[in-house]
Structure formats: C-alpha cells, structure tokens
Amino acid sequence: RTHDMNTANWIPDLFMKRMEARGTWTLFRSNQTPDLHELYGKKFEERYVHYELLAEEGKSQGQKIEALELWKKMLSMLFETGHPWITFKDACNIRSPQDHVGVIHSSNLCTEITLNTSQDETAVCNLGSVILETHLLPDGNLDHKKLRETIRMAVRALDNVIDINFYPTKAAETSNRRHRPIGLGVMGLAHSLYLRGHAFASSEAVEFNDEAMEAIAFYAYEASSDLAAERAPYSSYKGSKWDRGLLPQDTLDLLEQERGVQVEVPRGGKMDWTPLRAKIAQQGMRNSNVLAIAPTATISNITATSPCIEPTYKNLFVKSNLSGEFIVLNPFLVKDLKARGLWNQEMIDNLKYFDGELKDIDTVPADLKAKYLTAFDIDHRWIIEAASRRQKWIDQAQSVNLWIKTPDLKTLSHMYRAAWHTGLKTTYYLRSLGASNIEKATISVKKEVRIKDNPEGGDTTAPFAATAAAPAQDSGVTAPPMPNRTPKKEYTAEEKRVCSIEAMRNGGECEACQ
C-alpha cells in the first residue's frame, strides 16, 4: 500500500534450495544477525546455519517456518500488490565484476542496476540503449560494422557523462568517479524479431537473443578497454574480475559451483573472444560495469521502436499522454496482412473488437497468429529462456517483466523457480490482465458463442451482434446477460477476507477483486 516505495525480496540461494527440498527457514532479528547482510554464497550459508544452531540452543531468537509456505506468501503478495519483486542476492554478487571492493545489497528500482553500496558510496549508473532493429542488414542478420560503431560512440558518451554530471551527494560522486559504471542496454528486440520473421515464442528467437547480446557485449567491453588505454582504467580496477581474467560469461560456472545446483544456460557463443581477453589484460577497463538493460518505455515511444527486450504488449492499444489519446497499431502486422490481401474493413473491425488479438480471428493464417502472439499469451518459459541467454553476457542485470493471464500459484512458482535455475539476477514487474475490458459500443461483429452455463442444461450456441452489453473476456467474446442465469454466489466473510489466489481455488473472491 506504499505507492511510492518499490520493494523487493533479496533472496539467497540457500532459501531457494530449502524451498525446493521442502525444508524449513528460520526468521531472525536483523539486529542479532547483522553480518548476514554483508555475506553471500557459501559464506552466507555457513553463517546462517551457525545462527540457526544458536537459536536452537536458546542463545538467540529465531522462528522456524516452512520455506514453501513463505515462498507461497511471497508469490501471493507479488500477485496481489505487485511487490515485493523477486531478486536473487547470490547471482548478483557472485557474478559481479566488483566483488573485490564490496557487496551488492539491492538492485535499483527497475532491477537492472546491480552495483556495490556502502555508507561511503551510493551507487550511480548512467544509462543508454541501442536500437537493435536499426542494426540489421536487409537479410535480417546483424550489421556488425554499424553495431560496433554505434556502441563505441555510446560507451564514450556515457563515460563522458560521469565527468560532467552533477552529483547531489558526496557518496554518489565518490562511487561514480571511483568505479565509473555505465549501463548500455538495448531496445527494439520485438521489432527485430518481426523483421527477421521470428515469433517471440520460438527457438529461433532465443538463439537471436543469444547472438545479439553477445555481439553487443563484445563491442561494449572492447570499447571500454580501448577507452582505458586512452584515458586510464577506473581506479578500483586492480583485483576486479576483469583484472583476474574473468568475463561475465565465465562467471556462470562460478555461480554453479557456489550454488551447488546446475545453472541451466548453454555456454559459449559465436564470436572469438581470445583477442578481446588479451586486450583487456593489457589495457584494463575504463568502466567497472558496462551493460544493463533498462525498461526504455518512454524513449522507445519517442524513437518509434519496441520497449527494451519485451514482447509486444498488444497489437492494438490506446496510449495516453498530456497531448491526448492515440491509437497504436502494430505496423508489422498491418504490413503482413496487406501483403496477403487480408487488410479490409472486416479485419479492422475484428482487430478493434478483439483488442488486436488474432487467435479468435478465423481469417488470420496460423503462422501470423504465432508471429504476432502478444505478451500474455506467450508461455513464460520462452521469456525466461531468452532472458537467461542475454544474462550470460551482461555484467549487470535486466528489467525482465513477467506476464500472467490468470492468477495461478503453481504457474507463478514455476515461473520464478525457472528464473532462478537459469541464472537470472533479477526480475521486474509481474504483469497481469485487468478483470474487465473496454466496451466496443460502435463495433458490430457477429460471432457464435457457446453458453456453457445454460440453466436448462447442456451447451447451446447463440449467434449475436457484439455490443456494449457484451463484455470481452479471455475468449474474446461472451454472451450478453441472459435471464434465469445461475445467481452470483454469496461469499462468506472469511472467503472475502482471504487472498485472491487462495480464494480462487474455492471459487471465492477477495475484497480487492470485488
């Protein structure tokens, strides 16, 4: 209920392992276990177990609970309120290039910045994003020459910002000038996949995520190293993972060893990193951190591309800002429909009626339905798999939104467990669909609808013209209100009080849903 605060669960690997093993978790008083906040990996586990033994001996306070029940509570709160987000403490710290000078205690608001903080240092990161779709050749392959040129310019510009910036506090200035982190990201992924002819939910799309992020990482790290040769390495470079010959892709094995659980990400890539490794060893790095994928919701609108690494939210939606409301229609979809002779008034009306969703429009071919599947209809496994391939190359993290159409605790659990198993450092918003939809009072689309709750028994088929009296649901269309329908169930006070996810199992609703 604190609308201006954004909270996250900073989850250690030990908790995830115990939850999956159906073990217990002990809650401590933080003032009695202050060093746990400064530890991660195996050192955290050893110290945590030590505190558990002290609690069992009565030498400190601790409350044991079922780890699975705490996990369920986390997910229930996440779905109901949007907070706290799920972020992973050990993946952020073990894979950090700056593990030699401090600890990462949290991410930033959008979960893509994972930098050390302390009483003397407030993390600051300067961000920029490459528009991926403008760096494709006519055949859909990456234009490596253009991509390298853009990235080298962007890295130099972001490094300049560090010196010319205004810092509101001394701790922020100290941190930024000492470590010189930048966060170069990407946007336009969905548009790039359209141009290549790939559906977001496809193995081809996952492979392209891997290939594109590898190239971006290669040229960004190269640019930072060349700047170090020109301007000197950042001051805390000595002892960093860069200095120790460890690049971000190498740290997956470190995470796996420390965690004791397989990190399910294919290793390796397409480029030859040997010359770059030698260059970094000789020249050093100008920036402690170089890559981070930020949300880019606003700047992607300004530059007419798709937001960061997200799938298309809707093929048709209304965008509002201070200038008014604007209808946004997927131009790639229109182009493909026109190429097949399917762009006509009937198609326009169908798109409006079904909010741009294609699955219920019979005249749209199956391959286009797959290509233009939108975020809520894409299985979460594709989104997480693509994110894990990108995370392999990134020295910070990503703003990875996850999407769920209906509240389901089992699906949520599988979703976030998959994020942990594939080595993601953080996740961002959990997006869910609204319970109602806009009325289409000016559109008439005749459909046959099967009314499953016919009071006379059995299924009936009723053709009707969709009007404002017929609200759209998951199927796209439903029957208008019918007389003598089964009355809405009256819920007890207890059913209304419990959370929506638990209540839905028993057909109940919580007060928030009502």
Phi first, then psi: give them for residue 173, nearest 5 degrees.
-65, -40
The CA-to-CA distance between both ends of the chain, in Å, stands at 17
Work out the burial of residue 457: count CB atoms within 10 Å of its CB; fewer than 13 is exposed, 13-18 middle, 19 or more buried: exposed
> Which tokens in the block code for residue 150?
């853009």
Phi first, then psi: give them for residue 207, nearest 5 degrees.
-65, -35
- Helices H, strands E: what count in the chain? 18, 12
Residue recorded with tokens 């919580």: 510
Interstrand relation of 402-404 and 430-432 (parallel, antiparallel or unpaired): parallel
385 flagged as catalytic = no
Residues 440/471, Cβ–Cβ less than 8 Å:
no
Residue recorded with tokens 């050192």: 43
> Which tokens in the block code for residue 339?
């190429």
Region of 372 (left: φ > 0; alpha: ψ -120 to 50; beta: rest) is alpha
Buried b (16+ CB within 10 A) or exposed e, 214-245: bbbbbbbbbbbbbbbeeeebbebbeebbbbee
Number of neighbouring beta carbons within 10 Å of residue 72: 18
Residues 116/288, Cβ–Cβ less than 8 Å:
no
CA distance 19 to 14: 9
User: Which of 9, 93, 108, 287 does the annotation list as catalytic?
Assistant: 108
Check the CA dihedral 224-229-230-231 and report its sign: positive
Residues 373/469, Cβ–Cβ less than 8 Å:
no
Number of neighbouring beta carbons within 10 Å of residue 375: 19
Region of 151 (left: φ > 0; alpha: ψ -120 to 50; beta: rest) is alpha
Return the bridge partners of 136, or none. Answer: 142
- Rounded to 5°, the CA angle 27-399-162 comes to 105
User: Which of 9, 92, 93, 110 does the annotation list as catalytic?
Assistant: 110
499 flagged as catalytic = no
CA distance 135 to 148: 10
User: Which of 9, 93, 112, 209 does the annotation list as catalytic?
Assistant: 112
108 flagged as catalytic = yes
Number of neighbouring beta carbons within 10 Å of residue 448: 9
Residues 95/425, Cβ–Cβ less than 8 Å:
yes
List, in order, residues 6 or more apart from 157 with CB less than 8 Å away: 128
Residues, the chain: 514
Residue recorded with tokens 């991660």: 40
Residues carrying an active site annotation: 108, 110, 112
